[in-house]
């Protein structure tokens, strides 16, 4: 007679060999991939130290942080820190500015980066190609502080190069630092000047990995250069474009603080079109010195960015599952 108490033992007896086989397979896989795991270990360690361990600080967003008490001993305040942002009278303005300007950056940067990469890919002389790549890549390393001084030298109302040129062609000079309307386009141009070189190198590296036999076959069929770009280059770039765009959408609620603070010189007259979440939180933190408030704003930006990247990836998966991030 089989007792009910024997059933779990029987199942455990059956499952133990499977578990042991699974453990042996896992250990065997670790052994076979030991060199790859060793190569990846520095990157994984840096990711843990600088990306995952700091996530403990998220609790600051829900605390009245006091430096003498530390993170864990500071009193809890619930969602009080979030009231600063959501009850702000300028919440709509800074949110719209952040979304609109970052969307403008994503679209224009994608077009300019791919276009520049296509041009660099057509340079056949190696010395010239390296020189061009260095020239377009160099602005990426220039500090936003220096870029801010360059911009001021160009746009200054008194003696700025742009106003001198306008007077030279018979036009009236413009008080750029008191006119908020043109600044979305000014910031876009400055952003492109600084970042397009870096992005174009990524797309150029993807282009160099395309099998040249595709182009040879296309030339035999009589395809011109534009047709080769349309039917060969761009389809092969589509996965890279999708990944970089999805990552950029995940950061759409995070503004480049250096761009919006140093280039605009934190001019209050430009706030209607240039004030974003990061600069607003910085000014509030500078006045109130409330670290919990700043942490709450950062958590809000991260959560919204996470939701956006999930939604964007879901849309891409519906259209073409092979090009989704996950």
CA–CA separation, 220 and 202 (whole Å): 29
Does residue 309 sit within a domain?
A: yes
Instruction: Examine the domain organization and report whether 127 and 206 are in the same domain.
Output: yes
Q: Is there a domain that residue 37 lies in? A: yes
Q: Are residues 263 and 187 in the same domain?
A: yes
User: 190 lies in a domain?
Assistant: yes
Clarify whether residues 28 and 86 are in a common domain: no
- Domain with 36, as residue range(s), is 6-59
136 within a domain of the structure (yes/no):
yes
Domain count, the chain: 2
Q: For residue 114, give both structure tokens.
A: 């791919």
The strand pairing partners of 63, in sequence order, are 76
* Residues 49, 176 within the same domain: no
Question: Are the C-beta atoms of 74 and 156 separated by less than 8 Å?
Answer: no
DSSP, res 63: B
Segment 286-319, tens digit of pLDDT = 877 788 888 888 888 888 888 888 888 898 888 8
186 within a domain of the structure (yes/no): yes
DSSP 263: I
Residues 53 and 89 placed together within one structural domain of the fold: no
In a domain, 251, yes or no: yes
pLDDT value, residue 2:
46
Predicted pLDDT of residue 19: 66
What lies within 8 Å, CB to CB, of 104 at 6+ separation is 184, 188
Quick one: 118 and 52 in the same domain? no
Question: Contacts from 94-98 at CB under 8 Å and sequence distance 24+?
Answer: 94/275, 94/276, 94/277, 94/280, 95/277, 97/273, 97/274, 97/275, 97/276, 98/252, 98/253, 98/255, 98/276, 98/277, 98/278
Token pair listed for 232 = 């060969």
Q: What pTM did the predictor assign?
A: 0.82
DSSP state of 48: I
Q: Which residues of the chain fall short of a pLDDT of 70? A: 1-22
| Res 13: pLDDT | 52
Give the per-residue pLDDT at 320: 80
111 and 259, same domain (yes or no)? yes
Q: Do both 195 and 313 map to the same domain?
A: yes
User: What pLDDT does 7 receive?
Assistant: 47
Inter-residue contact 218 to 228 (CB < 8 Å):
yes
Give the integer Cα–Cα distance in Å for 179 and 171.
17
Is 68 within a domain?
Answer: no
Q: Write down the residue that tokens 């974003």 correspond to.
A: 276
> Is residue 203 located within the same domain as residue 258?
yes
At residue 17, the pLDDT reads 63
Look at residue 22 in the predicted model and tell me its pLDDT.
64
- The CATH number of residue 164's host domain is 1.10.3720.10
């Amino acid at each position: 007679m089989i007792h009910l108490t024997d059933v779990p033992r029987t199942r455990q007896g059956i499952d133990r060999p499977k578990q042991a086989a699974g453990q042996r397979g896992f250990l065997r896989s670790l052994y076979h991939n030991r060199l790859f795991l060793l190569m990846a270990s520095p990157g994984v360690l840096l990711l843990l130290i600088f990306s995952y361990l700091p996530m403990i600080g998220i609790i600051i967003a829900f605390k009245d942080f006091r430096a003498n008490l530390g993170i864990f001993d500071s009193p809890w305040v619930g969602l009080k820190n979030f009231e600063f942002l959501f009850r702000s009278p300028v919440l709509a303005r800074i949110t719209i500015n952040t979304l609109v300007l970052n969307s403008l950056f994503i679209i224009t940067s994608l077009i300019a980066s791919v276009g520049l990469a296509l041009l660099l890919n057509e340079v056949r002389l190696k010395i010239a190609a390296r020189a061009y790549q260095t020239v377009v890549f160099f602005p990426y390393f220039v500090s936003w502080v220096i870029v801010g001084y360059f911009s001021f030298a160009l746009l200054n109302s008194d003696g700025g190069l742009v106003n001198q040129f306008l007077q030279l062609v018979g036009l009236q000079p413009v008080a750029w630092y008191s006119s908020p309307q043109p600044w979305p386009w000014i910031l876009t141009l400055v952003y492109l000047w600084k970042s397009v070189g870096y992005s174009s190198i990524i797309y150029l590296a993807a282009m160099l990995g395309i099998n040249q036999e595709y182009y040879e076959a296309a030339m035999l069929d009589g395809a011109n250069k534009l047709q080769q770009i349309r039917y060969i280059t761009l389809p092969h770039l589509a996965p890279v474009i999708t990944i970089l765009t999805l990552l950029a959408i995940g950061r759409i609620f995070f503004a480049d603080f250096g761009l919006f603070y140093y280039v605009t010189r934190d001019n209050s007259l430009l706030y209607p079109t240039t004030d974003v979440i990061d600069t607003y939180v910085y000014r509030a933190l500078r006045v109130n010195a409330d670290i919990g408030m700043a942490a709450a704003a950062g958590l809000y930006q991260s959560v919204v960015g996470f939701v956006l990247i999930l939604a964007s990836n879901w849309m891409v998966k519906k259209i073409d599952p092979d090009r989704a991030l996950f």
